Structure 1
């Protein structure tokens, strides 16, 4: 993976994520070139400097978008609003969850995205799905020129990801005739920040609500719906497909077989002993965010809460077509997780593709080289939906 900040994996991963989601290298470099020293300031770097640099970039892009919109230049406005939304996301990403700036910066992220979304043809629709007394927040990206009911995909991201970050996948699917409902699951994006819904292991419940919504649309063929999710979504999507039998196909993009086990290793947890304070301090804002996402007050209770986050039983119930995409050099979820999931699925309707260092795409969710994985994912869904 390209390490813009050598020695700082999280910041470098963020740069790769922003690039994959439609960010421009020149813009990102403009924001980050002065952060080299800040990146070496502790395990997480100087997150205040990071915030200010990305906020400056986001505001600059939004100002360009507003000027273009006032002059009637729709495409320029759309593209700059969309990138401004992406950069606002990264301006907020490493702030502590209780930082007073999180709410207004995330609101700017959503506003910029909404301004860009309405300028697509057809427009990207903002969707609010009632869910257990609250709301699942989403977008519907329609396949263009669809005169009949089209196949569709429920799309989401991972632990700290957002539906906005995944829109590039929805746009790639739309070009191939597949519509997309991109949602923030409980614990993600706007569903976490605006609805207060924390992460939960039974992802099939929220995915089922998404399916219920799609079934109300005349432009969706409810018999031809798949589910795609990345990173931690490599747990959420297979779990949902195992118990929500309306899904015809599933893509686990960065497979997760035992999410609890992954965090136990990160925490260096030992049976019968509390989690080391030194370890949690070293995790910086990553540790703060996992507590916020799970709604837990401390790391020991967070680890207990994560105990049902595994696919040992669920994998046996996966009967739909499933594609597992993984990287040989995934630093967050080892390739052994993908193999365990693949081996545990009894159905023959399964495919696994592990990208190697030699060919590229070996990093987490192929962020070192998003193609050809993205096209492979989209074409696989075209063939099965």
Structure 2
């Protein structure tokens, strides 16, 4: 994967994630070009400088969008506000969750995305999915070129990923006649930040709630043709969900994970009998404080205990729907061996493992080094299997 900040995987990964969501390289480079020294500050970079640079960019681009909206220039407004939404996300990403600036940045992020979504030719609808006595925040994107009930896909991201990062996948599916429900599951995005829902291992509960929501929209959704795509940590969530939620017809694990507890034992450089500490040389996508907030832990030992049930051992054989695992040969966060082990244990008679190699590009985590071929592959696979 291209490292904009050599030696700082977390910051470099964030740049690539923003680009994959729809950020523009020229704007991002304008904002970050003077942060090379800040990126070298131990242990994970000067996150105050990071916040200031992304906020400066977000404020400027949001201003372009708001001015265009006032002038009735809706295409310019939609484009600028959507980019600003992604820039606000990264302004918020690495400052402490209890910092007032985090809440303010996140509010701007949601507002820009919401307002951009209303201006798109195929509007992004803001919805809430009933979930026990609360709800999951989500977006609904209707299939294009269809009349009557159409197939639908539930979309979600990973540990610190958000539904907003799945917008390009949603649009790719909608263009192929598939509606999408992009969801912040427990531990993610607005469901974490606004409703206080922490990550949980039993992802079939959230998947079932999302399916029930889609079923309630029977005038435009065919409940017999519902799929599930989840990325990064979603590579655990999605297979776990379909092992138990049998109403889902097809599944894609985009960055497959067999045992998420084992993943974090490696990342935290855990030694037998010693307290867990972060090895900041590892491929980490977020800060320690964010990790603890996502799982509702006070320290890394507690976080590891909470991750113990996040495994597909003894569960993968229960998967019976069509399933595709997509993985990168050089994934620094979850090794290819995890995907291979999961593939071997999946019980479905229709299972596939697609590995992107260095030679073709897309070998990094969720193909962030070259993502378009993977997006098209996954979207086309869903068309064939729903």
TM-score range for the pair, normalised by the shorter chain length: over 0.9
Distance 1:284 1:142, change over 3 A: closer
Offset of residue 359 of structure 1: 1.1
**Separation in 1, partners of 2:166, 2:348:** 29
Q: What residue is the counterpart of 2:7 in the other structure?
A: 7
Residues 30-109 of structure 1: pairs in structure 2 closer than 5 A: 30-109=30-109
**Separation in 2, partners of 1:354, 1:24:** 27
Residues 13, 285 of structure 2: 8 Å contact kept = no
Q: Where has structure 1 moved over 4 Å in runs of 4 or more?
A: 278-285
Q: What residue is the counterpart of 2:129 in the other structure?
A: 129
Q: What residue is the counterpart of 1:172 in the other structure?
A: 172
Q: What residue is the counterpart of 1:233 in the other structure?
A: 234
**Separation in 2, partners of 1:340, 1:271:** 24
**Separation in 2, partners of 1:248, 1:74:** 38
TM-score relative to the length of structure 1: 0.97
Residues 297-376 of structure 1: pairs in structure 2 closer than 5 A: 297-376=298-377
| Match status 1:289 vs 2:290 | yes
**Separation in 2, partners of 1:352, 1:280:** 30
Residues 54, 88 of structure 1: 8 Å contact kept = yes
**Separation in 2, partners of 1:347, 1:192:** 33
Residue-by-residue CA offset, 1:41-92 (whole Å, 9 max, x unaligned): 1131111111011111111111111111111111111111111000000000
Distance 1:73 1:193, change over 3 A: same
Residues 95, 285 of structure 1: 8 Å contact kept = no
**Separation in 1, partners of 2:285, 2:353:** 34
Offset of residue 281 of structure 1: 11
TM-score relative to the length of structure 2: 0.97
Offset of residue 297 of structure 1: 1.1
Residues 139, 183 of structure 2: 8 Å contact kept = yes
Distance 1:122 1:275, change over 3 A: closer
Residues 43, 284 of structure 1: 8 Å contact kept = no
Q: Alignment partner of 1:146: what SS?
A: coil
**Separation in 2, partners of 1:284, 1:351:** 27
Q: What residue is the counterpart of 2:159 in the other structure?
A: 159
**Separation in 1, partners of 2:49, 2:332:** 25
Q: Alignment partner of 1:101: what SS?
A: helix
Q: Alignment partner of 2:143: what SS?
A: coil
Residues 121, 144 of structure 1: 8 Å contact kept = no
Q: What residue is the counterpart of 2:143 in the other structure?
A: 143
**Separation in 1, partners of 2:251, 2:384:** 12
What is the root-mean-square deviation in Å for CA atoms of aligned residues?
A: 1.5
**Separation in 1, partners of 2:135, 2:301:** 29
**Separation in 2, partners of 1:58, 1:2:** 23
Number of equivalent positions: 384
Residue segments in structure 1 that go unaligned for 5+ positions in a row: none
Distance 1:285 1:258, change over 3 A: closer
**Separation in 1, partners of 2:280, 2:172:** 39
**Separation in 2, partners of 1:285, 1:337:** 21
Distance 1:383 1:279, change over 3 A: closer
